[in-house]
Structure 1
Amino acid sequence: MTSKVISIVLGGGQGSRLAPLTETRSKPAVPIAGKYRLVDIPISNCLHSGIDRIYVLTQFNSASLNKHIKNTYHFSTFSTAFVDILAAEQTPKSSGWYQGTADAVRQSLHHLAVHEFDYVLILSGDQLYQMNFDEMINQHIEKNAEISIATIPVDADDVPGFGILKTNSDNLITSFIEKPKSGFESWASEVSDEMKEQGRVYLASMGIYLFNRKLLYDLLETTDVTDFGKEIIPQSLSGHKVLSYQYEGYWTDIGTIPSFFEANLGLTDNIPKFNLFDKNHIFTRARMLPPTKISATMVEQSIIADGCIINATLIKHSLIGIRTRIGVDTTIENCYVMGSDSYQTLEQLADAKEKGIPFMGIGDGCKIKNALIDKNTCIGDNVCINCGDKLPDGDFPTHTVTDGIVIIKKRAVIPAGTVI
């Protein structure tokens, strides 16, 4: 049935909750796991599910995302498959930016109209999960649903952060409440015994929607609503058959710095909740990088990507991204180092040394803890980052502090001997 489906990945808005990672890139372009981008997650889920016609909608800082999509997703000349960017554009019918998730899809409908499809799968670009959409699509068709919403059971502590849905015995959604703070005990739905044992009896919307083509066009072309979660879904419950597809696997919304940091470091667990080594691997840009070279370094519970040159003393519970250089006598603990987009040439290294500028990467004798180091940063020798008491939140020229996590900004230069 996936041949009848076309998918739309929502790139999100300005992504201010992920700042400073989104100062120069859109949310879907943020690097994860040392070698991928966030947008690779929903696209990979689609491709593994047989859905190979995919649009990615963006409007903020889309240049790096455009480049990644162009360099990554290539298909046979004789195939109808594609992954294309749809950036916000002025048209005779619309002269403004996307005003919300529903408005973004509305402004893109004329691009979809040239294709044959019966269903539209709408996905978020900032979530980490592995899902076979075949099951959701088959249930949608078998139950003659008009809209299906992927839901995940959550416990009472998580309820205030989600839109909560109430279902009946046929998995039809009967009511919706947006991020209730209290008095939601009656909103419990029927879930599996395993979920009941964990106290996860409330169904939260995952922001994954499957629409019948005709209904989606009718809803968007006859109204001026701008958001799916806050308007389209609640307003559709009374007049349309809206089905819950209950998902019980790993899923997390990584729209904030703490959740992003935790999700990435969670990949280093012995048995991670998100399995990078599953047969349904993540697709990303193919790079012809050399293998990583490690000298006299103790590595504990860490992931190290391709093309690194590491002479550190200790790397513990950390994720080291592509082309990272780490000097001698350096310790890295509880960090995500994103790496670099290129190597410095011998001439560039000589010039940096002459000018007293740190090399790209992390120098000698550094101690770095609880840090998120963005790409192409130059950290000098004997730098100490986050090695003392918890730092207060704040934004500075070279770094930001959020919930005790130090984020070194992209292309920041941290001079030798600096203490943060």
Structure 2
Amino acid sequence: MVDATASFGIEPSTQEYPSARLEAYSTHTEISTATPEALSSYARLCANGVFAPAQSALWVETWVRQIRLDSLIATITSNGQAVFALALEVVKVGPFRVARFMGGTHANGNFAPALPKWLQSASEADIIGLMQAIGKARPDIDALMLQRVATDLDGTANPLLALPNAPTPNIALSVDLDGGFDAVLERTSAKRKRKKHRAQTRKFEAAGGYRRLIAQTGDETQRLFDAFLAMKVERFRKMGIANVFEEPELQAFFHALFAGSVNADQPIFTLEALEVGGVLRAVTGTSQCGKRLICEFGAISDDELAASSPGEFLFYDNINVACADGFDIYDFSVGDEPYKRLWCDIETRHVDIVLPLTAKGRMFAAGTRATARLKAFVKNSPFIWKIAKALRKRAAGGSATPAED
């Protein structure tokens, strides 16, 4: 048998496990394409396990149906029951074939579904064995690239940390909701926030009245997400950034994801918006993960009310509602922006895993790690990062816009 730890450059664990425990949690691996049967098994695991939103059954099933890329589901089973699974898409990155989380850069805070009891006893050998099985079943895959991996989920360590990893270049920011909304405000400039919110309320009332919307139907989802796309296109253009929502298949995925969620007994994904004078001025898309409410994306309309910060107004109300609904954390997800810093008191650093499966994959891993180190250097140097963003905006012919989306 091939020595998995040697193949992947992982130092073998010296930890010994009692024979009774090994017997109780004897595991096997299964590698399959994303067939209806494999997806059903994955959904059953999610129904009994814990997972991050981008690894939910709804996300994975919708991605497979809408994107139709080469995909696989790698599963660890114990006594015939799935206890851990990785849903991956296989894509070409230059001359390399790479397996990654479904959703690519849109998948954040990743934690693959697992049974809680198995997580208590998961071993390094289980994870290395799964990686070895993927390499054996799919010798055409050069490397696994698992990015923005959450180190834990509600205090439970991510079993993927058994693999070599490095901090991702971008931090994630979030708000501790302990004590309720008044306590959150007191920790983050309460007087200024309340005063500004009252002033915004007066402006929005004078502009025709306002309301906070939550998409409850497929048609409402379509309206809010279409508005978000229109807002984001203009924002990306001014920032000199490629539109990451440009592909029609990706837009169809998000439409189907949020529309599918509103019909679920416990919706994971929701769209919220601020409407002023009958016009949508700001839109956010959120997901739920236990007691954590995550803002996956947001945008504002570049119109006559942009200077009144409708995005900031919507976040104020969203965080207030999150407190009222009993959430512990409001998570602004990956990325460090001034509007997030107005609220956030928690910094989280996810990790990236780049694991070569072939000799060719070792070249890919070395290049990817070098690029990540360069990005981390630039983004962790405020002066250099400020210059880089200014040059990017100038190259795109953009002008300064409110930094709240």
Greater relative contact order (CA < 8 Å, ≥ 6 in sequence): 2
When the two structures are superposed, what TM-score results if normalisation uses the length of structure 2? 0.25
Higher helix fraction: Structure 1 or Structure 2? Answer: 2
When the two structures are superposed, what TM-score results if normalisation uses the length of structure 1? 0.25
